Amino acid sequence: MNYPQARPRRLRTTPAMRRMVAEHRPDAADLILPAFVREGIAEPVAISTMPGVRQHTLDSLRKAAAEAVAAGVGGIMLFGVPEEAKKDAVGTPGTDPDGILQRALRAVREEVGDDLVVMSDVCLDEVTDHGHCGVLDARGRVDNDATLLRYAEMAVVQAEAGAHVLGPSGMMDGQVGVIRRALDAAGHQDAAVLAYTAKYASAFYGPFREAVNSSLKGDRRTYQQDPPNAREALRELDLDLAEGADMVMVKPGLPYLDVLRRIADVSPVPVAVYQISGEYAMVEAAAERGWLDRERAIEETLTAFRRAGAGMVLTYWATEFAQRLRAAG
């Protein structure tokens, strides 16, 4: 028999060999921890649809941020959940200097300083009584340009509270440019903008609704991207770059690896991906039932993002996975 001379299996023979020739691997510094802080609670509240994730108090958020730093995590993305009675049609808590997100930003910066990149969500969905990402017009539609004015105010207030990076997630046309100009005019030229360049109207956001006590009525299909479209994401990328985006992102992650790859191939700025609540919940639920190996599944999904071109990954497993990497040496 003519046995093969080329044997790729030679490079798979031992764990040390596989580790040495690995083309991609997640690193703790690439990970960003999304975290929720809720107003009016005395103790952290478990999120039933996201086992292991909690709505934090300011004190427990401080501890989570310090734990992330100790593990080597690169950043933290904060979402504020105000008391229901404070929500209104224009999202007033989002621009109140004493709103829960602004207080959280100050608390985290006081706790960790510049040892963690502190990011904040610039969006109205958590702070409006209708749950949409923008201001509604007389017919109940999201008014793009009226919303931009609110985003500009929010970004400045968040930067003044200590955010290193502002993340406009509402998918309003022109949001990056409006925020960039507002930040510069207010003297926050060093604050960076992470553009949610390709944020799709996905079924995988379900658990997030509980995490932020969403008041959403209807859906977000008129402003988030339509799942069948990939080329459209490249148009969004061009617009965000022209408006001054410092970083860009694809959201969700696993269902849109093809979009992530296309953006990573052409983007001149760093590319992030958000492994969202539904992706997290699927793995946790399957692992709870013994249907898959939880630790291997986590690592495999994070590796997939790096292989597809992401330089940064927002994941609810950020601290846990970073701790695992540190323990492994």
Q: Is the CATH number 3.40.50.300 carried by domain 24-328?
A: no
Q: Which residues contact 22 (CB under 8 A, 6 or more apart)?
A: none
CA distance 246 to 305: 20
Most confident segment among 22-26, 40-44, 131-135, 218-222: 40-44
Q: What is the pLDDT of residues 291-328, one digit of tens each?
A: 999 999 999 999 999 999 999 999 999 999 999 999 98
Residue type, 47: I
Give the mean model confidence (pLDDT) for residues 37-59. 96
Residues that are catalytic: 199, 251
The ranges assigned to domains in the chain are 24-328
Query: pLDDT above 90 covers what percent of the chain?
Result: 90
Q: Please report the pLDDT score of residue 324 as a whole number.
A: 97
Q: What is the pLDDT of residues 113-162, one digit of tens each?
A: 999 999 999 999 999 999 899 999 999 999 999 999 999 999 999 999 99
pLDDT grade, residue 26 (50/70/90)?
Answer: very high
Residue 2 has pLDDT above 90, yes or no: no
Q: Please report the pLDDT score of residue 83 as a whole number.
A: 95
| Per-residue burial over 189-207, b = 16 or more CB atoms within 10 Å of its CB, e = otherwise | eebbbbbbbbbbebebbeb
Q: What is the pLDDT of residues 250-301, one digit of tens each?
A: 999 999 999 999 999 999 999 999 999 999 999 999 999 999 999 999 999 9
Q: Please report the pLDDT score of residue 60 as a whole number.
A: 98
pLDDT grade, residue 3 (50/70/90)?
Answer: confident
Q: Which residues contact 205 (CB under 8 A, 6 or more apart)?
A: 252, 276, 277, 278
Torsion from C-alpha of 306, 69, 95, 167, nearest 10 degrees: -10
Q: What is the pLDDT of residues 223-247, one digit of tens each?
A: 899 999 999 999 999 999 999 999 9
pLDDT grade, residue 213 (50/70/90)?
Answer: confident
Q: Nearest Cα to 198, choosing from 166, 223, 164?
A: 223
The token pair at 214 is 């969403």
Residue 163 has pLDDT above 90, yes or no: yes
For residues 217 and 118, the model is more confident at: 118
Q: What is the pLDDT of residues 164-211, one digit of tens each?
A: 999 999 999 999 999 999 999 999 999 999 999 999 999 999 888 878
Model pTM score: 0.95
60, 44 in Cβ contact below 8 A? yes
